[in-house]
Structure 1
Amino acid sequence: MGSGILFSYPQLATLAGLQGVLVYAISSAVPLLIFAALAPIIRRKCPEGFVLTEWTRQRYGVVTALYLGALTLLTLFLYMVAELSAIGQVIEALTGLNGLPVVIVECVVTTIYTSLGGFKISFITDNVQGAMICALIIIATITIGAKTEIKPELIADSGLLNANLVGWQLIYILPVAILTNDFFLANYWLRAFASKTDKDLWIGVSVAMVVILIVLTLVGCTGLIAVWSGAFEPDGDGSVAFFLLLEQLPNWVVGIVIVMAVCLSTAAFDSLQSAMVSSASNDVFRNRLNIWWIRGAVVLVIIPVVVLALKAPSILQIYLISDLLSAATIPVLILGLSERFYWWRGFEVLVGGLGGILTVFIFGTIYYGDAKLGGELILLEQGLYTGDWGAFGAFIAAPVGGLLWGFGALAVRLVVQYVLSRVRGTRFDALDYPATVPPEDSDALAGSSEDAITTKITGKFF
């Protein structure tokens, strides 16, 4: 989690009420279980892997791995922009000072200690920052409960306890968006593959899920309290609801929140930096380039990240762009985890992922009757809360369209390969079970299941 939660969750509360808060919190926390479920499977299929793209390279080949690596780096880049934008806005909203110096200091400090300590130092700092955040959340929650005066008449007038269209739409949109986007976050996969055992992974993910669910629910409820206390006007910008509420509280509470926000931001940003270094080194350069060149390149990347962060109009929109990309790509990618889809190739994944985005454009053009608005729907420029069915349709079009394009690509590939086999007078082998790589140490796998031994399939793009 980063400091962006102080904007996005209270904003949703002012628009979709309690229903939106609960859906958003549950949709953010529960998908973490996918790492406990899939990481052991991927680790068995790809023992030397430590990020998702390593399994992708093994299963689908180099081209698909580079495609997924590019999307992973793009996602990490967008998350870094969102994080720095959020902490800058937090400082400006709470202190009235320019947030740029804080952003620069955070970048310098996290770059220094992640460069010296690698991803291990990110683990250590996360533990310290996590403990501080839990303590600060408890103090802030008690203070808000004791010092804020809620006006009963505003509760009924707000309608935030009632079900609403956006709240019902989010029951589908948010789980799809967040679950698929988690696959692109290499910092999550690094943690999953770093677990000592599958049992440890389940314990760690389960604890994280519970803590995150509690924290996000509390943060989201500040949007409700801001409305019910009169601090936030219904027609205002919901992203600042949390900070309007803080204006009614003592200065020492504001100080606590600033500390909490900085802890959240650094904990998220150092993980994103480490993940970008690991992904670039492994996915693009196959660990053949000196790691310090990679770290230097990531430092250079931070410069445009800072520039864009200062101009980012909406943190939530940044997340949504990444969500739509993942919703189009991940469904066609994970089919390869099943042995029943052994005939699924990288060509289908690439065409399906790109086709899913094209399907969003086609849907938007038809729905709005305007190609320009259809293009804007890919960027979700109108957000999630327009009250129409545009965003909802986009998150249906992306995964469904991706799968349809993927199976269409499969049909084309099989037809072409069949025709070529007839022309060349060779056997049609496109549906043969791919070659498997024999285990390097058969004694070590003596007690393993057959699935663990035979499913290391050599990757093919066609």
Structure 2
Amino acid sequence: MPYLTAAALGAALFCFAFLGLRARRANSLTGANAVDDYLSARNSQSSLTIGLSFLASGMGAWILFAPPEIGAFVGPVALAGYAIGSALPFIVLGLYGPKIRRALPQGRSIAEFAEACYGRGVRHWVSLVSVAYMACFLAAELTAIGAITALLSDVPPALVIMGVALTTLLYTAVGGLRASLATDRWQAWLLIALLVIVGGVALTALPELPSEAAMPSAPLGSALSVALTLVIAVTAANLFHQGYWQRVWAAEDNQSLARGAWIGGAATVVVVMVIGGLGIIAAMSGVALGEPPIPFFALLSEAPAWLALPALVLAVTLVASSVDTLQSAIASLASEQFSTRGGSLPLARWATVALMVPVVVVALQGVSVLRLFLIADLLCAAIVVPVLLGLWQRMTPFAAIAGGLAGMLGAILPGWVMQGSLSAGLLAASFPNSIPTLAPFVGALLASTLVSVGLALSARRVAAA
């Protein structure tokens, strides 16, 4: 059985590599044109391709853990918040993207957007936050596929982690963004099909729900608090996902971007709600959810043994679809950050390879990265509003930087005030026990918004005087 499982996973990765390598630009572009096509695939993708790419690149192994657990323990209200938060970044870029394309017709990244609005200093800051967030995302995804492999098979987890990392690195290093977009299209359809198969078979294998079964539901106030926390955290963080920004310029035109964003957003909401709903059903059925609880895999424990193989292929598909997007995104930022000539292909490739080394090392340790993820989300929440206000004519670099710093202070202020010490505020903002709480995120958003807008308006009044 381990050999069959390894062969199936190897075949899936081989197919992804074949599709990615086949998608590389066939014509002989050279110089700046080759770099631009590698990093942006500019104006080349239809609305359906953009929508499927948003879905595939946004879905990772996390959907097999977080939504089912939220559904099982907090209920449908919080699950809806998670689904909306997962889709909202696509909708924001779909609505905001046409303005960005008009302001930066030759743009490629969130860092370029920040520089155009505020200057090179802010660009470095935004690039650092974006790369830190994406590195956490990469480590989390590879760690997750290792854990799932150990749970569902006898294949060594390190083998699958290395296989996914090296395969995706191969085709993104050669084909760039086009390779990621091409595999996303197929991976999106594959993950939908596998979700239907795995979820459907797992549900049919469940015992009949007991008559006293009740829908999991936390008190409404708690559920709304969790939902709002997840909306803020996921939206703010994903707006610093360079892979999503690349798709702003990859779309054929503004209409393709807008339609693609709505397709991707709607599909994401459906997928997250469906798989979270499986967690709700698992909790209602009375099956043992495990310790720590993993409702999705608890369902599989009741299903036929053969279902473990398609479930593992599903997990590999989810991880590969997000990892290749992140690798291409990091290559884009690395190329532009250190080159004054619009980017460098060798630099982009080697920078991505170099970053993957510590990411794989962390993933091989099998440690939890949820706390790091929450801290990265909070850092993004502290500066997302000042960055997005860049197209507002009254905004100034000073207002943006001060707003970002105020956001970081605002994140620790609630804990500081409630518990009476700075150290307590810092501890609360670092999410002990990896529990997401609303106060640091609200504090970060409110402080950054108030300071940014206030200083921008004050600067205009001073200038007018």
Give the alignment's TM-score, normalised by structure 1: 0.82
For the 8 Å contact 2:119–2:397, the answer to whether it is kept is: yes
Task: Provide the aligned C-alpha RMSD in A.
Answer: 2.4
Which residues in structure 2 correspond to 1:12-51 (within 5 Å)? 12-51=70-109
1:381-418: CA deviation from partner (whole Å, max 9, x where unpaired): 34446xxxxx2111110011113443576599789xx7
Amino acid at match of 1:301: L
1:23-42: CA deviation from partner (whole Å, max 9, x where unpaired): 21122124421111111001
* Partner Cα separation in structure 2 for residue 98 and residue 362 of structure 1: 45
For the 8 Å contact 1:363–1:394, the answer to whether it is kept is: yes
**Is the alpha carbon distance of 1:42 and 1:289 closer, same or farther for their aligned partners in structure 2, counting shifts above 3 Å?**
closer
Identity among equivalent positions (%) equals 28
Give the alignment's TM-score, normalised by structure 2: 0.81
Amino acid at match of 2:320: T
Once the two structures are TM-superposed, the CA of residue 90 in structure 1 deviates from its matched residue by: 1.1
Q: Which residue does the alignment assign to 1:264? A: 318
For the 8 Å contact 1:281–1:287, the answer to whether it is kept is: no
* Partner Cα separation in structure 1 for residue 320 and residue 248 of structure 2: 20
Q: Which residue does the alignment assign to 1:308? A: 362
Amino acid at match of 1:273: Q
**Is the alpha carbon distance of 1:142 and 1:374 closer, same or farther for their aligned partners in structure 2, counting shifts above 3 Å?**
same
Q: Which residue does the alignment assign to 2:121? A: 63
What secondary structure sits across from 2:61 in the alignment? coil
* Partner Cα separation in structure 1 for residue 435 and residue 208 of structure 2: 28
Q: Which has the larger radius of gyration?
A: 1
* Partner Cα separation in structure 1 for residue 138 and residue 355 of structure 2: 10
For the 8 Å contact 1:173–1:392, the answer to whether it is kept is: yes
Amino acid at match of 1:241: P
Q: Which residue does the alignment assign to 2:406? A: 355
For the 8 Å contact 1:84–1:103, the answer to whether it is kept is: yes
1:53-81: CA deviation from partner (whole Å, max 9, x where unpaired): 21221111110111111111111111111
Q: Which residue does the alignment assign to 2:373? A: 319
* Partner Cα separation in structure 2 for residue 232 and residue 256 of structure 1: 22
Amino acid at match of 1:258: L
* Partner Cα separation in structure 2 for residue 40 and residue 66 of structure 1: 24
* Partner Cα separation in structure 2 for residue 288 and residue 214 of structure 1: 39
Higher mean alpha-carbon deviation, 394-403 vs 17-26, is at: 17-26
Q: Return the match for 1:402 from 435, 442, 448.
A: 448
Which residues in structure 2 correspond to 1:384-395 (within 5 Å)? 384=435, 391-395=437-441
* Partner Cα separation in structure 2 for residue 75 and residue 189 of structure 1: 14
* Partner Cα separation in structure 2 for residue 165 and residue 109 of structure 1: 45
Q: Which residue does the alignment assign to 1:334? A: 388
1:356-391: CA deviation from partner (whole Å, max 9, x where unpaired): 112222321222334333212222234446xxxxx2
For the 8 Å contact 1:72–1:184, the answer to whether it is kept is: yes
* Partner Cα separation in structure 2 for residue 154 and residue 96 of structure 1: 38
Higher mean alpha-carbon deviation, 199-208 vs 120-129, is at: 199-208
Q: Which residue does the alignment assign to 1:146? A: 204
For the 8 Å contact 2:173–2:349, the answer to whether it is kept is: yes
Gaps of 5+ in 1: 386-390, 419-429, 433-462
Q: Return the match for 1:81 from 135, 139, 145.
A: 139
1:180 pairs with 2:236: yes
Q: Which residue does the alignment assign to 1:291? A: 345
For the 8 Å contact 1:88–1:100, the answer to whether it is kept is: yes
Q: Which residue does the alignment assign to 2:255? A: 199
Which residues in structure 2 correspond to 1:159-170 (within 5 Å)? 160-161=216-217, 163-170=219-226
* Partner Cα separation in structure 1 for residue 340 and residue 236 of structure 2: 25
* Partner Cα separation in structure 2 for residue 198 and residue 346 of structure 1: 28
Q: Return the match for 2:426 from 363, 372, 375.
A: 375
For the 8 Å contact 2:147–2:366, the answer to whether it is kept is: no
Q: Which residue does the alignment assign to 1:54? A: 112
Once the two structures are TM-superposed, the CA of residue 325 in structure 1 deviates from its matched residue by: 1.2
1:366 pairs with 2:417: yes
For the 8 Å contact 2:150–2:157, the answer to whether it is kept is: yes
1:218-269: CA deviation from partner (whole Å, max 9, x where unpaired): 2112222222222235x8423x221122111112221111111101110100
Gaps of 5+ in 2: 1-58
1:157-215: CA deviation from partner (whole Å, max 9, x where unpaired): xx614644331103322222222222201100111211011111122122212221121
Once the two structures are TM-superposed, the CA of residue 127 in structure 1 deviates from its matched residue by: 1.1
* Partner Cα separation in structure 2 for residue 370 and residue 227 of structure 1: 40
Matched residue pairs, number? 407
Once the two structures are TM-superposed, the CA of residue 98 in structure 1 deviates from its matched residue by: 3.5
Q: Return the match for 2:272 from 213, 216, 219.
A: 216
Once the two structures are TM-superposed, the CA of residue 286 in structure 1 deviates from its matched residue by: 3.9
1:246 pairs with 2:300: yes
* Partner Cα separation in structure 2 for residue 360 and residue 16 of structure 1: 24
**Is the alpha carbon distance of 1:248 and 1:290 closer, same or farther for their aligned partners in structure 2, counting shifts above 3 Å?**
same
Q: Which residue does the alignment assign to 2:49? A: none
Q: Which residue does the alignment assign to 1:273? A: 327
For the 8 Å contact 1:184–1:326, the answer to whether it is kept is: yes
Q: Which runs of structure 1 show a deviation greater than 6 angstroms over 4 or more consecutive aligned residues?
A: 411-415
What secondary structure sits across from 2:60 in the alignment? coil
Once the two structures are TM-superposed, the CA of residue 106 in structure 1 deviates from its matched residue by: 0.9
Higher mean alpha-carbon deviation, 143-152 vs 33-42, is at: 143-152
What secondary structure sits across from 1:360 in the alignment? helix
For the 8 Å contact 1:368–1:374, the answer to whether it is kept is: yes
* Partner Cα separation in structure 1 for residue 375 and residue 147 of structure 2: 20
Once the two structures are TM-superposed, the CA of residue 308 in structure 1 deviates from its matched residue by: 2.1
Higher mean alpha-carbon deviation, 47-56 vs 186-195, is at: 47-56
